[in-house]
Structure 1
Amino acid sequence: MIDPTVRVRLARPSRDLAAAERFHTAGLGLDVLWRTTARVPGEHDLLMVGLPGASWHVELTHDPERPREPTPTADDLFVIYLGEPVGASLIDRLVAAGGTRVPSHNPYWERYGVTIADPDGYRLVLCSRTWG
């Protein structure tokens, strides 16, 4: 049964795990929770980022033998509800770590947040509102 304590994993392919790691750790401030440390034929390279103890994390994969091209759309969003205005220093860190500030497809996110595309083109929305 699904309840509020279930674990959530958002999984996406990545062209470059090192670039994805830089964006999520140096830019967003997440920790590396797990990574593959040795190339194993037939298996994906894997990077998991998140916050220790959180019930969610982001899994990024790369298969050098059969690479998958990321195919994000303007509505593929990873939204973080900050509950406060988005600080300029956070935006600057994300851009310095390989992100690109982009306009949001949805006017709601434009009004209440900042949208940053990660190195693979997936969109992170930093929302100034709260959730719940």
Structure 2
Amino acid sequence: MISTDTHVRIARPSRDLAAAERFYVEGLGLEVLWRTTERVSGEWDLVMVGLSGGGWHFELTIDPENPLPPTPTAEDLFVLYLGEPIDPALIDRLVAAGGTRTVAHNPYWDKYGVTVVDPDGYHLVLSTRTWNA
């Protein structure tokens, strides 16, 4: 049964796990929750990032023997509702960690936040709004 305690995993292929990790850990401030530590033939390399104790995490993966390239679109968004103005230092860290600030495909996100493209081309939106379901 799905409940409010259900943990969410978002899995995405990556071209370069080190670059993706740098963006989400050094840039955004997430933690490495787990990673593969050795290359095993027939298995994927991966790094899981998120917040310790959080209800979600990213699993960034690559199959070195048969890579699947990321295929993001302008509407593949990871939105964080921060509920406050976006700290310019956070944007600077994301850019220094391999991100690119961009104009959002949907102008709503430019009105209420900032969009940064990660090293694999996926869009991270930092929203000044709060989430109210």
Residues of 2 paired with 1:7 and 1:82: CA distance? 20
Cα offset, 1:74, TM superposition = 0.1
The normalised TM-score by structure 2 is 0.98
Partner of 2:31: 31
Letter in structure 2 aligned against 1:68: L
Partner of 2:114: 114
- Cα deviation, 1:67-116, whole Å, max 9, x if unaligned, reads 01100000000000000011100000000000000110111101001000
Deviation beyond 3 Å, 4+ runs, structure 1:
none
- Cα deviation, 1:43-90, whole Å, max 9, x if unaligned, reads 000100000000100000011000011000000000000000111000
Partner of 2:130: 130
Residues of 1 paired with 2:2 and 2:113: CA distance? 29
Q: Secondary structure at the match of 1:92?
A: helix
Letter in structure 2 aligned against 1:108: Y
Residues of 2 paired with 1:102 and 1:37: CA distance? 34
Partner of 1:66: 66
Could you tell me which runs of 5 or more consecutive residues in structure 1 were left unpaired when the two chains were aligned. none
Residues of 2 paired with 1:104 and 1:116: CA distance? 9
Cα offset, 1:129, TM superposition = 0.3
Partner of 1:19: 19
Residues of 2 paired with 1:102 and 1:45: CA distance? 29
Residues of 2 paired with 1:114 and 1:104: CA distance? 8
Cα offset, 1:4, TM superposition = 1.0
Residues of 2 paired with 1:59 and 1:127: CA distance? 22
Letter in structure 1 aligned against 2:86: V
* CA-atom RMSD in angstroms: 0.5
Cα offset, 1:32, TM superposition = 0.2
